[in-house]
A and B are shown apart, each in its own frame.
Chain A
Amino acid sequence: MVCNDSEHPAPPGPRVEDRLPESAERSLKIVVVGGFGAGKTTLVGSVSEIRPLTTEETMTRDSVGVDDLAGVGDKTETTVAMDFGRITIDRRLVLYLFGTPGQQRFWFLWNGILEGALGAVVLADSRRLADCFPSMDRLEEDGIPFVVAVNVFPDSPTHPPDELRAALDLPDHVPLVACDARLRASGRDVLLTLLRHLYDSATTAVSAPDPSEAP
């Protein structure tokens, strides 16, 4: 590959050390959802190998529907910004993590955010649990598998997981974990919980009774 970097001292693009391998060919995404201040940006940043970036989409009144924008005022356009980070898994695979904007109720109208996602992490702040309900509802509607991570803040009240599960109306099969979004290892463990959940679901489906093996 020919590099002309010397001719273009600071072209827009990743730093040399942030380049993906030429062999990278498969990319996957996980979406981090939850209320404002739940720690989504923090989680994305703590596990990302690159400094988190932001991508934006402009949504018109047309594309989001007038009724749904009734509470937003008279704007005809609204910009939704997603923070995201990246983890290179191996020569071929790259994992991207998108943090949805908690202050915008209609982030999920950004077509293509949830579609094709491996799954989602719902970050819940136990002091304001209801903040993540709209996001959870949306994931359920779209059939996107998810895990719930309760971000632990110093003044978070402590109560048994089953109470929390009941308050979240969370089915038994959806994993519920605690995390500290500021810690890389904790953020990584949340992602692993999601991936193991996906793996278990996939292998369970595959190992269902196979008619060809019937006696």
Chain B
Amino acid sequence: MTEPDGRDDPGEAAHPEAGRAATGRGTRNGRPVPLYVVTGGRSGTPGRRDPLVLDLVTLVVTRTSPVPPGMPPEAAALLRACRYPLSAAEISAHLALPFGVLTVLLADLEADGHVELRQTRDAERDAADTDIETLKALIDGLQRL
């Protein structure tokens, strides 16, 4: 495999004088607040673990087989697509559902015990807090690629 040209010499800035400060910061004000919080569905099961945030990479696995009769078509399609683990992003792509619509559907399916959600996020936490073992595994895995 050839190295790309200029690996150690990546090129000149088009406009070095155009500093980054000029692009402006402070878009935080425009930041949306709604998080995709799974609270146990619309009924809101008390005593449940802390609210979890459904992430784009949350893995979904169907826990109902066969698909229960009377399921709405989108829910039925989702349950069929997730016989093996599938990320929320992949479900959204395969079923052509906008992510926000999908999260509502998933919250209901999870509340009814039809799907298991793996790798949700802590609602409080912004940054990934990844352990060293996981980073090591990722590095090893990519080196095998």
Chain A residues near B (Cβ < 8 Å): 1-4, 8, 11-14, 19-22, 24-29, 47, 53-59, 63-65, 67-68, 79, 82, 84, 86-87, 89-90, 92-96, 98, 106, 108-109, 111-113, 115-119, 126-130, 133-134, 136-138, 141-144, 150, 152, 156-161, 163-164, 166-169, 176-180, 183-186, 188, 191-192, 195-196, 198-199, 202-203, 206
Q: Judge whether B94 and A116 touch: CB under 8 Å.
A: no
Take A133-B23, A141-B28, A184-B145 as given contacts and tell me if A158 and B12 are in contact as well, using a CB distance cutoff of 8 Å.
Answer: yes
Contact B87 A94 (CB under 8 A): yes
Q: Add 12 more A-B contacts to A20-B84, A164-B12 (CB < 8 A).
A: A20-B85, A26-B134, A27-B119, A56-B99, A82-B56, A89-B137, A95-B138, A116-B121, A159-B9, A159-B12, A169-B20, A199-B136
What are the residues of chain A within 8 A of B100 when measuring CB–CB? 57-58
Residues in B neighbouring A56, C-beta threshold 8 A: 92, 98-99
Asked if B44 lies at the interface with its beta carbon under 8 angstroms from chain A, I say: no
Does B47 sit at the interface, judged by CB under 8 A?
no
Given A27-B119, A56-B99, CB of A178 within 8 Å of CB of B10 = yes
Q: Is the CB of B59 within 8 A of A168?
A: no
Bound together, the chains give a CA A96 to CA B136 distance in angstroms of 16
CB-contact partner of B119 in A25, A47, A111, A199, under 8 A: A25
- Write the chain B residue with the least CB distance to A167: B13
Verify if B46 is at the interface (C-beta below 8 Å from A): no
Closest 7 CB pairs of A and B: A167-B13, A13-B81, A159-B12, A126-B11, A89-B141, A68-B30, A65-B30
| B118 close to chain A: CB less than 8 A | yes
Give the nearest-CB partner of A59 in chain B: B32
- Output the least CB separation between A117 and chain B (Å): 6
Interface contact B145-A29, CB-CB below 8 Å? no
B71 at the interface (CB under 8 A from A): no
Residue contact B128 to A118, C-beta cutoff 8 Å: yes
A168 and B20 form a contact (CB under 8 A):
yes
B31 at the interface (CB under 8 A from A): yes
Q: How many A-B contacts if CB must be within 8 Å?
A: 290
**Could you say which of B34, B85, B98, B135 contacts A195, with CB atoms under 8 Å apart?**
B135
Q: Is the CB of A93 within 8 A of B14?
A: no
Q: How far is the CA of A203 from the CA of B133 in the complex (A)?
A: 11
* Cβ A188 vs Cβ B145 within 8 A: yes
Q: Are A12 and B138 in contact (CB under 8 A)?
A: no
Q: Closest Cβ of chain B: how far from A6's Cβ, in Å? A: 13
A13 touches B59 (CB 8 A): no
Is A2 within 8 A of B65, CB to CB?
yes
Complex Cα gap A99–B65 (Å): 34
Residues of B within 8 A of A8 (CB): 80
Contact (Cβ within 8 A) A1 B83: yes
CA distance A167 to B15 in the complex (A): 8
The answer, among B1, B85, B131, for a CB contact under 8 Å with A183, is B1
- With A89-B137, A112-B35 in contact, is A166–B16 under 8 Å at CB? yes
Given the complex, which residues of A lie within 8 Å of B134, measured CB to CB? 26, 28, 93
Q: Which chain A residues lie closer than 8 Å to B55 at the CB level?
A: 27, 29, 112, 115-116
